[in-house]
Amino acid sequence: MIAQKMPLTPWTEGDAWEGVPAILITTGPDGGPYTAPDSPLTLVTMRFKKIGDASAPIVELSSAAAGEITIVSAATWEISLPRQIIPGLTAGRWLWQIRCTDSSANGNPQTYLEDIAYIRETV
């Protein structure tokens, strides 16, 4: 499965990121119908890797950490990413990915969303 693209509004280094109030993770054949996966959602991570800087650390948000990512409904795979300051994100372009793990026997981790985040320098 190829992760779907989801653009994020650029923000300035050190400012609070506006987040995303609601995302429904869905899968299905090309042309639909798209539905939530069968097994309930158990864990969501969002990872950021700075483009062009191999020494930059990976920055991660997780539903396991209070206030970073909220699983609104495990059954319908609805998540939200609240407004927050994300420590470690400096000015530049960052590849980000959202990976979800379900409650099936193997955990079935899958990257569903990704894109590039643009963070502007402060002046």
CA distances from 97 to 31, 115, 122 (A): 23, 7, 25
Q: What residue spans define the domains of the chain? A: 4-120
pLDDT, tens only, 52-86: 998 989 999 999 999 999 999 999 999 999 999 99
Whole-prediction pTM: 0.90
pLDDT, tens only, 1-44: 688 999 999 999 999 999 999 999 988 766 667 788 889 999 99
| Residue partners of 95: CB distance under 8 A and separation at least 6 | 48, 49, 51, 114, 115, 116, 117
Among the CATH numbers 2.60.40, 2.40.330, 2.60.120, 2.60.200, which is that of 4-120?
2.60.40
